[in-house]
Structure 1
């Protein structure tokens, strides 16, 4: 049969099967496939995050409010004589579990900058400019409105975009929106998150403990040297990361910064090349069929070597994203929402200056900053738009960037006093909902006018 002329046949259990060739591999698959997988997970995460937030708000305003809120204040820690290391459950979630969130964000950013479309500087410049504008303008509006008022220190709450909710909103429109819009908003949100954690480190840290900072830098140097000399055992690096987290925590810098730095240090190059992997697998396949893989034999050693080669043919960045992203999205972020979104709603809190300033920053400041800085970057020839991405769709996406939620709640816990925290959270919820409604409405109007955008 001519169609099988170039096919390979293998005899297994007495049957002949045809090894059908796969589709041709294109260079574009290096960044489109990971992005597609990431977007699918993010869409589901957005829904779960919304359910967690609604659950927390419902319980915080129900007869179970007292036990629910007190649960997150449960102290957890270690105590050895005069030495004590402890936090409330909520603080362990915000300081510990969220380190993994920022670690994954940094991994995604590095992968896009090194392997994805953002490796082209002018493509990366557009979402970077939008992220800078989306952080700077709302913060300035917030400070202008809150000048001389209690809570002015909370300007960081209006600077970040919630990636999961934004991508979840885009998922509602499927193929009807330009693919470039998803990449633009995803990249912008990642830049936003990294910028926000830098703001946390610089604007909401305590006085520096230089000894702790020195030990943290030494730990990072150990990680760099270990990677350089060929240590590839992931659990070893998690132990290093835990030690570095403790050092950063003792230094006075917010410990989640450790996750960002370690994520950006993670290598993007695979240890085993495609040619070497093929050679190792061909050696295993050359053995005759039979039960001869046990014992200390050459057959078994080759089989184990093939298993290592298959795992190491993916870069550490790819392996860690595949390992951690579902845990972060489906476990850590919903737990964070449950621990932080429970706010007793009070009419007095809704009209407080803090709430109004946050709404202004998210609903007006974010889209104005994103669009103005993106437009300036494009017209100054510093950045270029993806093909098929219009300014109207970018404007709709810019409205969605006002959904701050996760990062805004994270900063609010650090920035506001107990007297203002509830008002701040109500402002975050109100501004995020308004931004979602405005962005979805504009996208609905655009896709209704021209479904095949």
Structure 2
């Protein structure tokens, strides 16, 4: 019993001491690590936007996003509306995180295995091309044809959130497949934004952006690890790209792909540094011993640098993007005045067909082609019925679809487009969840 008591006391000293704030931060930390909770916050923000857009305060709701503000440096003044700051600047963090996730998957994750990766990549390509082709076919010769890019996207948070509703019975391979597919899908949508929805190019601004990106690369090669310096240079690159005619959120993608995946401190060196701290004699004051304080400082830096920059930035940004950036974007963009609108509007119907039908059709068809051509490998747990059901969930476009719709449509069509995106997302979620449940019941789970 005495031995157990001593072990219990030792275990206590292996953890950091508790402070009053820990009673709040620890439950919050656990909450933030549940990725699917972001879908709930996103849904609440969407419903709140819809409620305000159709309330007596609708005029104030829409007016606030048109509020202009900016910065001035001497003769140079840069101003945008609040809605533009959210869509062009704040959303850059979302694109940066997506790019980090893609690079981690390519180097360290599932996409690092070529044949397994090709199944997700092929499915993502089919899930982009087929809906876009259906949309263009149904809107040929009409002004609305310019919105083809909005039916190509998948909302990762809502897809993973839907899977969470099914509990632990979902095969892990389905989660991995859909997550990898959604990441590739998002990158494809970002390229669509850069190529299809930019303005005339300003080559001087592009040169300035290139110089800033070269500076970022040089800082990486020199071993500079101060995140604030990278943020400052990255911000300069963003301003340059914003003036270049390319959508500024592309800056986040480029910077994410430039982020290193290598660790500065390997495990062997980390353990040696920790061992040096652990062997510090008991009873000595850390604050009075310069050498001891240096050992603690070295251990702190080593623990931080034992993770690659990609992993550290993902851990840092994921809660902010999931619980602040995306809900803020939804709150600013999902408000639709429903007076005079109908789900039977032509544009709304085209979007619903393209997302709810075109997405699963493209994903299933291109996955089948990848297997038949022996360029992709389908895990045994990922049955064809499950793959089709997962493809239906990918018709939830939402975040990226709303983003591209805002770039593609004039005020005359934007509300019809938003209704189509929302209706298609609901239909896709219901059908996808129903098919997954049906498949699991058939399999006896």
Give TM-score scaled by structure 2 length: 0.92
Q: Are the structure 2 counterparts of residues 17 and 211 from structure 1 closer, same or farther at C-alpha, using a change threshold of 3 Å? A: closer
Corresponding residue for residue 283 of structure 2: 290
Corresponding residue for residue 61 of structure 1: 54
Residue in structure 1 matching 2:298, options 292, 305, 309? 305
Deviates further, 71-80 or 397-406: 71-80
Matched residues, number: 429
Give yes or no for contact 1:130–1:369 (8 Å, CA) kept in 2. yes
Deviation at 1:207, TM superposition (A): 0.3
Deviates further, 352-361 or 98-107: 352-361
Q: Are the structure 2 counterparts of residues 136 and 82 from structure 1 closer, same or farther at C-alpha, using a change threshold of 3 Å? A: same
What's the RMSD between the two structures over aligned residues? 2.3
Matched, 1:104 2:119: no
Q: Are the structure 2 counterparts of residues 16 and 377 from structure 1 closer, same or farther at C-alpha, using a change threshold of 3 Å? A: closer
Q: Secondary structure at the match of 1:77?
A: strand
Q: Secondary structure at the match of 1:251?
A: coil
Give yes or no for contact 1:146–1:353 (8 Å, CA) kept in 2. no
Corresponding residue for residue 177 of structure 1: 170
Residue in structure 2 matching 1:393, options 366, 386, 393? 386
Matched, 1:89 2:88: no
Q: Secondary structure at the match of 1:91?
A: helix
Deviates further, 78-87 or 167-176: 78-87
Corresponding residue for residue 130 of structure 1: 123
Corresponding residue for residue 449 of structure 1: 442
Which runs of structure 2 are paired with 1:264-283 in the superposition (5 Å)? 264-283=257-276
Corresponding residue for residue 33 of structure 1: none
Q: Gaps (5+ residues) in structure 1?
A: 21-36
Residue in structure 2 matching 1:363, options 356, 360, 363? 356
Residue in structure 2 matching 1:325, options 318, 322, 330? 318
Corresponding residue for residue 144 of structure 2: 151
Instruction: Please give the alpha-carbon distance, in whole angstroms, between the structure 1 residues aligned to 2:207 and 2:232.
Output: 18
Matched, 1:431 2:431: no
Deviation at 1:448, TM superposition (A): 2.2
Corresponding residue for residue 215 of structure 2: 222
Corresponding residue for residue 417 of structure 1: 410
Corresponding residue for residue 252 of structure 1: 245
Residue in structure 2 matching 1:205, options 195, 198, 201? 198
Deviation at 1:52, TM superposition (A): 0.8
Deviation at 1:49, TM superposition (A): 0.7
Residue in structure 2 matching 1:161, options 154, 174, 185? 154
What CA deviation, in whole Å up to 9, does each residue of 1:239-268 have, x standing for no partner?
Answer: 111111111111110000000111111111
Q: Are the structure 2 counterparts of residues 11 and 153 from structure 1 closer, same or farther at C-alpha, using a change threshold of 3 Å? A: closer
Deviation at 1:286, TM superposition (A): 1.5
Q: Secondary structure at the match of 2:199?
A: coil
Corresponding residue for residue 24 of structure 1: none
Q: Gaps (5+ residues) in structure 2?
A: 15-29
Corresponding residue for residue 231 of structure 1: 224
Corresponding residue for residue 142 of structure 1: 135
Instruction: Please give the alpha-carbon distance, in whole angstroms, between the structure 1 residues aligned to 2:98 and 2:189.
Output: 12
Q: Secondary structure at the match of 1:183?
A: helix
Matched, 1:407 2:400: yes
Q: Secondary structure at the match of 1:166?
A: helix
Deviation at 1:450, TM superposition (A): 2.4
Give yes or no for contact 1:39–1:167 (8 Å, CA) kept in 2. no
Deviation at 1:118, TM superposition (A): 1.5
Deviates further, 219-228 or 94-103: 219-228
Matched, 1:193 2:217: no
Instruction: Please give the alpha-carbon distance, in whole angstroms, between the structure 2 residues aligned to 1:82 and 1:320.
Output: 36
Deviates further, 51-60 or 286-295: 286-295
Instruction: Please give the alpha-carbon distance, in whole angstroms, between the structure 1 residues aligned to 2:345 and 2:127.
Output: 24
Q: Secondary structure at the match of 1:294?
A: helix
Q: Secondary structure at the match of 2:79?
A: strand
Deviation at 1:116, TM superposition (A): 1.0
Give yes or no for contact 2:263–2:309 (8 Å, CA) kept in 1. yes
Deviation at 1:17, TM superposition (A): 5.9
Instruction: Please give the alpha-carbon distance, in whole angstroms, between the structure 2 residues aligned to 1:316 and 1:112.
Output: 14
